[in-house]
Amino acid sequence: MSDWSVESWRSRPALHQPEYADAEAVGTAVAKLRSFPPLVTSWEIERLKGELAEAQQGRRFILQGGDCAESLADCTPDVITNKLKILLQMSLVLVQGARKPITRIGRFAGQYAKPRSSATETRPGPDGRDLTLPSYCGDLINSIEFTPEARRPNPHLMVRCYQHAALTLNFIRSLIDAGFADLHHPEYWELAFCDNAALHEEYHAMVLRLSDSVRFMETIAGQPIDDLTRVEFFTSHEGLHLLYESAGTRNVPRREGYYNLTTHLPWIGDRCRAIDGAHVEFFRGIRNPIGVKLGTSATPDELLALIDRLNPANEPGRLVLIHRMGLASVQRCLPPLLEAVNRNDRRVLWVCDPMHGNTKAANGSGSHPGRKTRDFADILGELDASFDLHAKAGTYLGGVHFELTGDHVTECTGGARGLSEADLAANYRTMCDPRLNYEQSLEMSFLIARRLASA
Ligand code: PEP
Ligand code: CO
């Protein structure tokens, strides 16, 4: 790829990039990033690519999930373990339904940059008059407090976020190595606050069945099954901030090409996938598997051009297409894309993100009018419709992508507990988009598992 370099994206239009005032500070931060050890290795990245290739062939299912925007303040043991716990529990539920291995990919250890629909935000200032400041763009770029200092893009945050991603990943790796994810001990992942009796019971009955099966298999094998003592987690984030992404991209000894070693699976957001834009230019040259989000504006021609640019060799496991159309549009927008990819025999892994097309403003009747929310029924509805549309097209929906948390937040409405818009104020904590809480996530996994079991 002689016309690509780690910096070639700089000659293309780059959307959603911060404008820093101090070029010298940017240079210092980027040099620091370049000098740090990588966060992940090319071996792990290639292993994930292999698993994504299996998922493409219908032999595996992908669970991708985590915060919309990770925050530096939430880099704490409780928040991180709760995220692992919910992803582990969901994957256990899914494996029973899918009867296939599940690959777990966190939206974590680097999900710190956000594209925003508006570059500025206006609120009443300290003197009561309207104050307009830059929007919060994630902890990688600025801070959420509504002051001019906090909202000013700060290049040093790139270094802090990289360090926090390393702290997060170090803790995840240590937990996994210590046996936290041992399938013989699902009680390790118990979360303290599931008050939903029916859901709790269903989960426990399933865990009991699973423990029985494990014991049964080990009795037959006459020895413990080692593979069950540890499961793997991969990391992913939106590769939005190209200075940060390119500073973490390296040529690895004894391997060809360049790897983005800040994460296993970076993805291009729906707003940044312009064929001649800087993001597509940067992504086409890295060896990682890559995701592309596809919203309602994606056309079949655009998609085929993107596939050609990003995966010209039709390499298995390279490209993950994450559709996020919304319940209202999925029937209209998804089939033409499936058909185009099918007709042209392109190898892609299809994943559904039922969150980003279903965001709406809560009604004024709640105590926090205008808060962003999503309804459980819309999320499930888009997933159900997607499974149907893939079945009809003869394609395989190989994974799901959620914004979720292991904590007891009140950001999405609905689910078994029937959270209403009036309940949102109780614990609305997201830094950006509304996430499924612990119970809603677990319930969602049971509903998907049922669907997979009947497929
Ligand atoms: C996201 O995943 O948080 C996001 C911004 O998604 P999209 O690019 O699909 O809007
Ligand atoms: Co989001």
Per-residue pLDDT tens digits for 163-222? 999 999 999 999 988 888 777 777 777 766 566 778 778 887 877 777 777 777 778 777
Using CA atoms, how far apart are residues 233 and 168, in angstroms rounded to an integer? 12
Tell me phi and psi for residue 350, to 5 degrees. Answer: -95, 130
Atom of ligand 1 nearest to the CA of 68: 3
Atom of ligand 1 nearest to the CA of 271: 8
Pairing state of beta strands 102-107 and 233-238?
parallel
Q: Report which protein residue has its CA nearest ligand 1's atom 6.
A: 269
The residues lining ligand 1, judged by C-beta closer than 6 Å to any ligand atom, are: 68, 115, 238, 269-271, 293, 324, 356
Q: Report which protein residue has its CA nearest ligand 1's atom 10.
A: 270
Ligand 1 pocket test, candidate residues 268, 353, 359, most atoms within 8 A of CB: 353
| Model pTM score | 0.95
Instruction: Report every protein residue that has its C-beta within 5 angstroms of ion ligand 2.
Output: 68, 433
Ligand 1 pocket test, candidate residues 356, 379, 400, most atoms within 8 A of CB: 356
Atom of ligand 1 nearest to the CA of 114: 5
CB 383 within 8 A of CB 401: no
Distance from the Cα of residue 208 to its chain's centroid:
30
Q: Decide which of 203 and 119 is more confident.
A: 119
**Distance from the CA of 183 to the center of ligand 2, in angstroms?**
31
Amino acid 366: pLDDT: 47
Tell me the per-residue pLDDT of 289-343, one tens digit each, with 9 for 90 and over. Answer: 999 999 999 999 999 999 999 999 999 999 999 999 999 999 999 999 999 999 9
Using CA atoms, how far apart are residues 208 and 147, in angstroms rounded to an integer? 52
Cα angle 298-302-308, degrees, rounded to a multiple of 5: 130
Atom of ligand 1 nearest to the CA of 107: 2
Tell me the per-residue pLDDT of 28-85, one tens digit each, with 9 for 90 and over. Answer: 999 999 999 999 999 999 999 999 999 999 999 999 999 999 999 999 999 999 999 9
Least confident of 92-106, 143-157, 295-309: 92-106
**Distance from the CA of 355 to the center of ligand 1, in angstroms?**
9
Amino acid 199: pLDDT: 78
Amino acid 181: pLDDT: 76
**Alpha-carbon distance values, 311 to 159, 191, 338 (Å):** 31, 41, 17
Task: Print burial letters for 387-403: b (CB count within 10 Å at least 16), e (below 16).
Answer: bebbeebebbbbbbbbb
Find the mean pLDDT for residues 119-124: 94
Distance from the Cα of residue 418 to its chain's centroid:
25
- Top CATH class of 8-454 equals alpha beta
**Distance from the CA of 192 to the center of ligand 2, in angstroms?**
26
Q: Report which protein residue has its CA nearest ligand 1's atom 3.
A: 68
Using CA atoms, how far apart are residues 418 and 376, in angstroms rounded to an integer? 9
Q: Report the amino acid identity of residue 126.
A: P
Using CA atoms, how far apart are residues 284 and 287, in angstroms rounded to an integer? 8
Q: What is the overall mean pLDDT for the chain?
A: 93
